[in-house]
Structure 1
Amino acid sequence: MQEKLEKFTNELLKWNKTHKLTNYTTKEEIEAQIQDSLYPLEKIKDAKTAIDIGTGAGFPGLILAIAMPDTKWYLVEPLKKRYSFLNYLKTILGLKNVTVVPKRLENADIEPVDLITSRAVMPTPEILKIAKPYLKENSTLLLYKGSNVLDELNGIKASIISKDKRNYIFIKD
């Protein structure tokens, strides 16, 4: 896994110079984002199928797909340059458990999954609305949110794990 994460970091640094995929421009910043992506792994590792909404440059979906090789991952990313980057990495890293979906989730043709992840894509109520058709009974929604997340959880039953300025929000369907 470590070798794949290092390759990911090097490729992101290289691609970012030309394509501006993310604001993270140093190895240290990217490694911090990798650790952020992996932090809740113990709580989600048993999922057999998963969707990451708005994967962007790979956080958290591609990183979790590397760490969870037995989980089928759908990385949903509508922006062409990011979609192309994710597909390239899928190929060079040999990630047979990954399908990159070049659409918005609302337009994707994906069966309901065990786990849906998302990091800073949109407010929580909106994510719940677009994710609902893709949730099974007992599915988990894992949202990577900042410090203002409590304002978004008005009336939503969730458990929260906090680390530094990150809140990991777990919502069971």
Structure 2
Amino acid sequence: MNKFEIFTNELLKWNKTHKLTNYNEDEIKKQIEDSLYPLEKIKDSKTAIDIGTGAGFPGLILAIAMPNTKWYLVEPLKKRYSFLNYIKTILNLKNVEVIRDRVEKANLPKVDLITSRAVMKTNDILKIIKPFLKKDSTILLYKGSNVLDELQDIDASIISRGNRNYLFIKGEKWAK
């Protein structure tokens, strides 16, 4: 089995008792595909933070696909944090550190890439990630169909795929 299959099987097992997600096997596979879709644009990042990783989307999935990138997965909820650490261990993901905290309180370095999926509105997330941005950082936000409503005064590029919008923002304007 590859790492994505192991992840899928373990998430399905954990869901039975811990209800991390409502996804069935097919939906998990779609979430993995969704997480990996923008990989080509971010694959050269050396360091990354994923905010609100939840059951692993997109941060853990990207960490599997990007073994040479140091990933900080930020997840404040205990059961999700525990699951992420468990998966990190069984998949031997040496490039992953799981942080049990809210990003606003976390002690994290400045990174090349910050990702997040469905955590909060774009303006709100841009405010709280400032301490972790470099001038040349990339911000990748996984957004739904209402993404345009959140982009007043934000210079961004968008890749759309079905109802998913991958929002890319350069860190230079937002870095402290």
* Band the TM-score falls in, shorter-chain normalisation: over 0.9
> Are 1:110 and 2:108 matched, yes or no?
yes
Aligned to 1:17: 16
Aligned to 1:42: 40
**Structure 2 residue matching 1:30: 3-state secondary structure:** helix
Aligned to 1:149: 147
Aligned to 2:174: none
Please give the residue correspondences for 1:57-72 in structure 2 after superposition, counting only pairs within 5 Å: 57-72=55-70
Q: Distance in 2 between matches of 1:50 and 1:23?
A: 27
> Are 1:86 and 2:84 matched, yes or no?
yes
After TM superposition, give the deviation of residue 137 of structure 1 in Å.
1.1
Q: Which runs of 5+ in 1 are unaligned?
A: none
After TM superposition, give the deviation of residue 23 of structure 1 in Å.
1.9
**Structure 1 residue matching 2:57: 3-state secondary structure:** coil
Q: Percent identity?
A: 77
**Structure 2 residue matching 1:154: 3-state secondary structure:** coil
After TM superposition, give the deviation of residue 56 of structure 1 in Å.
0.1
Aligned to 2:95: 97
**Structure 2 residue matching 1:57: 3-state secondary structure:** coil
**Structure 2 residue matching 1:86: 3-state secondary structure:** helix
Aligned to 1:8: 7
Q: Distance in 2 between matches of 1:126 and 1:8?
A: 31
- Number of aligned residues: 171
> Are 1:169 and 2:167 matched, yes or no?
yes
- The 4+ residue runs of structure 1 with deviation greater than 4 A are none
TM-score by length of 2: 0.96
**Structure 2 residue matching 1:87: 3-state secondary structure:** helix
Aligned to 1:129: 127
**Structure 2 residue matching 1:94: 3-state secondary structure:** coil
Q: Distance in 2 between matches of 1:148 and 1:106?
A: 25
TM-score by length of 1: 0.98
Q: Distance in 2 between matches of 1:80 and 1:67?
A: 25
1:30 alignment partner AA: I
